[in-house]
Structure 1
Amino acid sequence: MYDRLLFPTDGSDPAREALGYALDIAAEHDATLHVLNVADTNQDSLTTVEGRVVDVLESEGEDLVAEAVDHARARGIDAVSAVLQGDPTLTIVDYAHEHADLAVMPTHGRRGLSRLLLGSVTERVVGALDVPVVVVNPAADRTHRYPPREILAATDGSDAAGRALDAALDVACETGATLRLLSVVETTSLGFDVRSAVASEELDARATAVLDAAAARATERGVDTVTHVAHGHPHREILDALDDHAVDLLALGVHGETDFSRSVLGGVATKVLRTSPVPVLLRRDPDPGA
């Protein structure tokens, strides 16, 4: 399923912790791990040593990727590395489009106090990349486990949610995981008059239809499913579902917005991404007209 897995790293603690999860995925699918470090040309990294101009960031990057490759090969995983100069987001996206069918990134990554390589970059990569991205929150209390035993896919019936569902089904088919399907009816804006009651019933009916369609797709692929309609704030209901069930992986769809300012669930993915106790499998909707 996954043959080429991209792991961008800046050598930060979050990146080092996310590497373990990337290695688990690569080992499970017998994938080649591509370890990438980007020497950020937006930073002043050039110094003079004995009359020669040396790019310190690129030199550091070589050490970082070599360390990650050593960890991969110690587990019997094929690994290659690259250190490139450029804008981190654009360089990661360009490399992934050519060399990867899955990317794994942490939610945050800092080197020093002033430079951010992974974090906001991760979000921009998600909004621009055509392949699935798994985002790992190293600060989560729960132990990350791959292959997953249960996957949660939150869906609203949109195209992006459908792409995320397909990505979740791919993993479930390959690993034998159960797929938990969730659709959230946002009722917080509804009042308590007759019209709101009718609207709530209509929303419930639509959510049920969305889940039925998703479950039918899963059944066609031989995946066991559990469906649930929740009511309230979508991001809170998704996080509650993660807390209430033994979910190992969350699948969400996002719009193809390069600034990651909106998600298919109305900003929900942005809120969930940074606090999810489990890795999040994100699949973006293609750009309009693409």
Structure 2
Amino acid sequence: MYDSVLVPTDGSDHAARVAGHALGLARWFDATVHVVSVVDVSAAGGVFDAGGVSPAFVERLEDEAAAAIERIETMTDTDRVRSAVLKGSPAATILEYADENDVDLIAMGTHGRTGVNRYLTGSVTERVVRQSDVPVMTARVTERSEWAGGYDEILLPTDGSEPAAAAVDHALAIATRADATVHVVSVVDVSTVAGRPTIVAPNDILAQFESDAETAVETVAATVRDAGLDVETHVRKDIPSQGLLEYVDDHDIDLVTMGTHGRTGFDRVLLGSTTERFVRRAPVPVLAVHPTAGSEPN
């Protein structure tokens, strides 16, 4: 499923943290690893630098980028590593590199350096998650986000939509190699069903959405069982991002694999905004899968 993995880095601990997971997956899938660092000369020079930046300043930025790459390279145990210092707008440059090099997975930290040379900030990562046609794994430095050699519990949220279904194959491919239990969960957004958080939804409407959620969960669970994996199912009523975060804590989840978009309307769950909110707060790595990225494992 993953023949080529891209790890953008700025040398930060957040970038190194997600790189541990990316390199672990690369070993499992025998993938080539691309490690890149983007030098954004325009941003580094500042909006008030009308005279431009000096060659020495650009060289210093390139040296910092090369050092950031070297930090990730020291973590690898394979010779299938390609590295490059790139120049340009970070998000656009990362996406362009991924496209030109047939990358199957991008792994980015959710926060990076502060200051003029930052680029792995949440907004840039969210832009890549939103625009990438390939899955994007994100992670930040928390007590639970360090690569420990595998995953025991993988959370797979679903709302029954095709975008949510795009994440299923990726979750199964990783769970198969990790021999992990897959948790298939659907969250009924009670506040959206009611129209306002302070209004209680009619019981018949709520019951219908719960029934739909249970059907969605069982459909995915059947696919998980067919793959020979252990599965746990759950339907809960909550605000989606909050409900998923609580589930992660309550069930010691190691990895979350989720679609970047879901249904629109009352029963939406996996909207891009929900995924983005979840990514910002998740204590464990999140693999966000765009609808176009769904594919059969190989």
Taking structure 1 as the reference length, the TM-score comes to 0.85
8 A Cα contact 2:44 2:117, kept in partner: no
Q: Following the alignment from structure 2 to structure 1, what is the Cα–Cα distance between the partners of residues 269 and 116?
A: 28
- Check if 1:179 corresponds to 2:182: yes
| 54, 62, 65: which one aligns with 1:47 | 54
Task: Give how far 1:142 is off.
Answer: 5.3
What residue in structure 1 maps to residue 212 of structure 2? 206
Q: In the superposition, relative to structure 1, how do residues 77 and 161 fare at CA in structure 2: closer, same or farther (>3 Å)?
A: farther
Which residue among 245, 248, 258 is the counterpart of 1:242? Answer: 248
CA positional deviation for 1:163: 0.6
Match of 1:56 in 2: 60
Q: Which consecutive segments of 4 or more residues in structure 1 shift more than 6 A? A: none
Residues 39 and 117 in structure 2, CA contact (< 8 A), matched pair in contact too? no
Q: Does 1:69 align with 2:77?
A: no
Fraction of identical pairs, as percent:
37
Q: Which runs of structure 2 are paired with 1:215-230 in the superposition (5 Å)?
A: 215-230=221-236
Cα deviation, 1:209-247, whole Å, max 9, x if unaligned, reads: 111111122233223211100011111110111011121
Contact in 1 for aligned 2:10/2:118 (Cα 8 Å) = no
Q: Distance in 1 between matches of 2:189 and 2:44?
A: 47
Displacement of 1:13: 2.5
Residues 156 and 265, structure 1, Cα contact 8 Å, conserved in 2: no
Instruction: Tell whether 2:182 aligns with 1:170.
Output: no
Question: How far apart are 1:146 and its partner, in Å?
Answer: 4.2
Amino acid in structure 1 at the alignment position of 2:10: D
For the residue of structure 2 that corresponds to 1:218, the secondary structure is helix
Equivalent position SS for 2:74:
helix
Counterpart of 1:206 in structure 2: which amino acid?
Answer: D
Tell me, in whole angstroms, the C-alpha distance in 1 between the residues paired with 2:240 and 2:15: 29
Q: Which residue of 1 aligns with 2:120?
A: 118
**What letter matches 1:61 in structure 2?**
A
Q: Secondary structure at the match of 1:252?
A: strand
**Deviates most, 232-241 or 57-66:** 57-66
Q: Residue 191 of structure 2 is aligned with which of 161, 184, 188?
A: 188
CA shift in 2, pair 1:54/1:153, >3 Å: closer
Q: In structure 1, how many angstroms separate the alpha carbons of the residues matched to 2:241 and 2:249? A: 12
Q: 1:161–1:252: 8 Å Cα contact kept in structure 2? A: yes
RMSD between superposed Cα atoms in Å: 2.4
Stretch deviating more after TM superposition (122-131 or 112-121): 112-121
| Shift of residue 42, structure 1, vs aligned partner | 2.8
Q: Is this contact kept in 2: 1:153–1:180, CA < 8 A?
A: yes
Structure 1 gaps of 5+ residues are: 257-261
**Residues of 1 paired with 2:275 and 2:249: CA distance?**
17
What SS does the corresponding residue of 1:5 show, helix, strand or coil? strand
CA distance in structure 1 between the partners assigned to 2:235 and 2:135 by the alignment: 26
Q: Post-superposition shift, 1:125?
A: 0.7
- In the TM superposition, what whole-angstrom CA distance separates every residue of 1:86-133 from its partner, at most 9, and x where no partner exists? 1111110111123321111111011x4344301211111111111111
Query: Shift in Å at residue 83 of structure 1?
Result: 0.9
Q: What CA deviation, in whole Å up to 9, does each residue of 1:122-155 have, x standing for no partner?
A: 1111111111111012135554434211110111
Q: State whether residues 144 and 279 of structure 1, in contact with CA within 8 Å, keep that contact through their aligned partners in structure 2.
A: no
Partner of 1:259: none
The verdict on how the C-alpha distance between 1:37 and 1:263 changes in structure 2, with shifts beyond 3 A counting, is: farther
Distance 1:236 1:54 in 2: 43
Give me the whole-angstrom Cα distance separating, in 2, the residues matched to 1:225 and 1:141: 22
2:164 and 2:261 in contact (8 A); partners too: no
Partner Cα distance (1:285, 1:154) in 2: 14
Instruction: Give the aligned partner of residue 268 of structure 1.
Output: 274
